[in-house]
Structure 1
Amino acid sequence: MWSKHSPGRNLVGGSALFPLALSERLGKKILYDTQATRIQSADGSVEVDVVAGTTRSTFMARHCIVAAPAFVAAQIVKDLPSDTLHALKSIRYGAFLTAAVLTAETAPMPWERHYAISTPGRAFSTIFNQATTLREDPTNRQPGGSLMLFRGAKGAAQLMQLSDREIVERFRADLIAEFPEAASCISEIVVQRWEAGAPYSWPGRGTLQAALARPLGSIHLAGDYLEFPNMEVAARTGREAADAVRSN
């Protein structure tokens, strides 16, 4: 599942393969374009209210795993212990601004062997080269590549006041300023913005952990906010929640 060549934990082929694999395995059991509006324990089971378009439904389950951002869980899960509700509402999120850059180079580029490059003073703060894991054999270098330009926190929030076109122009100019070779191979730049991109820590965050980790009966929390935020934590806490369901 994970690339042994990556400096961190990266899913070979991109993190989108994870939900795609779940979708393929679960098939019609997944409800798309459906919003959960209420989750509540009731007589040893769990009631889940959902809305799909104009249709409202209620599902009954023995257990419910809530894999949602902390502020969403705080809103939809009812009758939580007061300290758990307070902890969920207290989790802080920072903005994420990213741009996916499709490149069409036919030869090795200066960023070839680097997974992440810090870029102080640029519109983006970091360049990520997700194709690093595909460059193990320099004699079999395939054309093209993919970069991700990232800006977080207050800098991202400020840039997100601009239009996508303005952000693309700034990111493109700074990428070329950092690597002039990019000018001839940029095929496409697509901007994605998240006002609540990821949770972050702060002094005192640890005091919330006991309330977040406490058992909640038939309702089980899962998500990156429960530990250091990354995909691995999100996956592991989901697995731990599933194990708790199986054990009951």
Structure 2
Amino acid sequence: MQRREFLGAAAGALALPGCGPTQPILGGFAGVNVERGHAWRDHAGSDAGPPAVVRRTRVVIAGGGVAGLAAARASRLAGVEDVVLLELEDQPGGNSRGGQVAGIACPLGAHYLPVPGDEAHEVQDLLEELGLRRRVAGRWEYEERHLCHSPQERLFFQGAWQDGLLPMQGVSPRTLAQYQRFSGRVEALRREARFTMPVLRAGLAAPLLNLDALPFTTWLDREGLDDPQLRWYLDYCCRDDYGAGLAQVSAWAGIHYFASRHGFHAPGDDSAERDAVLTWPEGNGWLTQRLAAPLGERFRPAHAVLRIAETRHGVEVDAFDVAARSRVRWQAERCIVALPVFIAARVVENPPDFLREAAASLHHAPWLVANVHVREPLADRPGAAPSWDNVVYGTRGLGYVDARHQALDPTPRATVLSWYRPLGPSAYDGPDGRRRLLDRPWSAWRDELLAELSEPHPDLPALATRIEITRYGHAMAIPAPGVLARLGARERIRAGRLAFAHSDWSGYSVFEEAFTRGHLAAG
């Protein structure tokens, strides 16, 4: 893991009223080598001269995120072992990497996986392979140690913690009525059209395309759903899954968040079955490490892909080996391009029209994850008990998850809190999120985190010892109006000897989409 540490009083804790004594907080940027990515962007490897070495393999996979790892697994299951996977970073996993702070495992990105539905059978097969689910008496059961323990989530709202994330304490009858109306509309739309994950199995029925053509806010206005608490919650959900606010994503994306998984549970709907999620201290890094393990030395970290070209007899993939500071050429029968579309369009020689069009039409949200080590449990405000996912109403961040929530040992001790901060366009952030993500010093993000979480936890600045911040300049695709129509229906995306696999081709970024597309690309 690359780190830059800043010590001393200048990197110390933020002094907040009523927080008690402060102490220096160590920390810095970690997890993703932003400078390496920018060097690739600026063609730093292009002056390395001709390839220093030429190697041969059967399949090259460009990109070691979830899609690339899924493609490697599918190749192995098909008996194709002669595969090499090239990844820019030092670790595989993309947005699903894990790390450690002060010896405590924590997520550097995605931190959970909902129990997949029937349409995501490739993901179900993976979970079975990893021992996470099994058939018992004709029914599928999931390994309880890996299912999120209760209590799962709570919201700090009007000065106290409440169960669940939908604002409930002291809300008006009108608010409750709008919750019920939105729940009814979600269920009606679920009956009218297929909302599936992965989206490529939904088809492009007229109801879905009609929703895809509208901003989510426009659809809510038409439905008369204008309650501030409902709008806050829906905006939170869009920023959580898509990195941008409900004014920027399509109505299809806003409905899909609920209809493809668990529905929308209005108050009093006790008959509805709540969805289960799988989670680990290191988040989805638990999954990606197990996907990468069979590759061994065929996983090549710190290799920046510079060029992908078809030849008369196969493909050539040039990569810049960061450690050796030289260009390496791989000759192969074919290449699986498991890169974000904007990168693929740069490195694929003579890119096909559909790739150029996708790169031009898709925009990505920046994202930040801050892992905070606290030396002892925080004092808590009244209300619901400490949970795995803890959200503060009306803030720019998405709250935090507790890395020790799954621990079987109940002894109170130090832990790591993972705070999530989307920076795509929303009511909280303008269009310059990426610039602010990269230009602000880590101490500015530290101060924002401490100010936000000190509302429910005034003792946080005094108990925090270290904060490590991971930045993603292009974390996730934003499903803006029209994205489903342009991208979502494509199942297998090929051009000659190149197969394309990334969650971008679904128009938004979640594990199920990336994994399925990687699996299919290797077919």
Q: What TM-score do the two structures reach when normalised by structure 2?
A: 0.41
Describe the superposition over 1:136-180 as per-residue Cα deviations: whole angstroms up to 9, x where unpaired: x6x834523222222221434475342111221221122112322
1:164-183 equivalences under 5 Å are 164-183=442-461
Distance 1:108 1:132 in 2: 16
Structure number with the bigger relative contact order (C-alpha 8 A, sep ≥ 6) is: 2
Q: Is the 8 A contact 1:98 1:192 kept in 2?
A: yes
The 1:65–1:85 alpha-carbon spacing in structure 2 relative to 1, beyond 3 Å, is same
Q: Is the 8 A contact 2:378 2:457 kept in 1?
A: no
Q: 1:131 aligns with which of 403, 407, 417?
A: 403
Amino acid at match of 2:444: E
Structure with more of its chain in helix, by fraction: 1
Distance 1:17 1:189 in 2: 22
Amino acid at match of 2:446: V
The reply to whether residue 12 of structure 1 matches residue 286 of structure 2 is no
Describe the superposition over 1:6-33 as per-residue Cα deviations: whole angstroms up to 9, x where unpaired: 7665442322233433443222112222
Structure 1 residue 237 displacement after superposition: 1.9
Name the residue aligned to 1:42. 311
Q: Is the 8 A contact 2:315 2:335 kept in 1?
A: yes
Counterpart secondary structure, 1:201: coil
Distance 2:277 2:486 in 1: 26
The 1:204–1:20 alpha-carbon spacing in structure 2 relative to 1, beyond 3 Å, is same
The 1:8–1:97 alpha-carbon spacing in structure 2 relative to 1, beyond 3 Å, is farther
The 1:8–1:131 alpha-carbon spacing in structure 2 relative to 1, beyond 3 Å, is farther
1:58-207 equivalences under 5 Å are 58-106=329-377, 109=380, 112-120=386-394, 122=395, 124-131=396-403, 133-134=405-406, 140-152=410-422, 153-154=424-425, 155=429, 156-157=433-434, 159-160=436-437, 161-207=439-485
Aligned-pair Cα RMSD in Å = 2.9
Structure 1 residue 198 displacement after superposition: 1.2
Q: Is the 8 A contact 1:109 1:181 kept in 2?
A: no
Distance 2:376 2:505 in 1: 40
Q: What TM-score do the two structures reach when normalised by structure 1?
A: 0.81
Greater C-alpha radius of gyration: 2
Distance 1:83 1:125 in 2: 35
Structure with more of its chain in strand, by fraction: 1
Counterpart secondary structure, 1:25: helix
Describe the superposition over 1:199-227 as per-residue Cα deviations: whole angstroms up to 9, x where unpaired: 11111112321568533343222222122
The 1:96–1:4 alpha-carbon spacing in structure 2 relative to 1, beyond 3 Å, is same
Identical counterparts, % of pairs: 19
Distance 1:116 1:79 in 2: 47
